[in-house]
Copies of this chain bind each other. A is one copy, B any other.
Amino acid sequence: MALTTIGFDADDTLWHNERFFALTQERFTNLMRAHAGSDHLAERLLAAERRNVGHYGFGVKGFTLSMIETAIEVSEGRVPGSVIAEIMEAGREMLSHPIELLPEARATVQALSGDFRIMLVTKGDLLDQERKLAQSGLGDLFDAVEIVSDKAPEVYARIFARHGTGADEGLMVGNSLKSDVIPMIAAGGWGVHVPHDLTWALEHADAPEDNPRFRRLPDLSGLTALIAEIR
């Protein structure tokens, strides 16, 4: 079976990311404690994120705007300007958080880069995703980097055609069933799910357990062996 091109998701597949969202959300909850019942605060924020993702797309700037919106909403407009300023500061700090690679990320990408075209496929704010890639030190290992606004089957079809030999000879690795695995399989490729203990609620989906092109690994260390086996 021909397999020429491997795509890696970035956030929470190669490096930690969601933990910074979780920490910021905790900070948000603490900031709001004095100004609104904290009941349902997480649900209200998630509802705002869900409502706004079609306008803002994915990433920290949209998350910051959704926190501000939620703060105003749950406090019925009474949240002080100083708290909003702190929410914005928390958002800006997310845009400079340090990058910590996940175990085996560098070794795995390196091991595969001799035999395959290797692509990074990520969504979020353009500048922020570029910054994280630069800080990761992995930039030179990729033959192509695609920062996309959404991870839909037609997006995978297009970018695996552009940088590889089509999605049917491609494989995508990531922690999100919804974004990395299911649409890649729908585009005709392989989808390998490597779960991360923190995954954003909007990325949850049911695993396509019976699909012959679906695989799951506990971490990246088994990836080269899995690829050798299905190749």
Residues of chain A at the chain B interface (Cβ within 8 Å): 55-57, 61-62, 64-65, 68-69, 71-72, 75-82, 84-85, 88, 91-92, 95-96, 125-128, 130, 147-150
CA distance A79 to B148 in the complex (A): 36
Interface of A is mostly: helix
The 4 closest A-B pairs by CB, nearest first: A57-B127, A77-B81, A61-B61, A72-B81
Whether A57 contacts B125 in the complex (CB less than 8 A), given A72-B81, A77-B81, comes out as yes
Report B-chain residues with C-beta under 8 Å of the C-beta of A75: 81
**A5, chain B: closest CB distance, angstroms:** 17
- Residue pair A56, B61 in contact (C-beta under 8 Å): yes
Distance in Å from the Cβ of A95 to the closest Cβ of chain B? Answer: 5
22 example contacts (A-B, Cβ-Cβ < 8 A) are as follows: A55-B92, A55-B95, A56-B125, A57-B125, A57-B126, A57-B127, A57-B128, A61-B65, A65-B88, A68-B84, A68-B88, A69-B88, A71-B81, A72-B81, A76-B81, A77-B80, A81-B84, A126-B126, A126-B147, A126-B148, A127-B149, A130-B149
- A85 contacts B95, C-beta separation under 8 Å: no
Chain B residue nearest to A76 (CB atoms) is: B81
A85 contacts across to B, CB distance below 8 A: 69, 72, 77
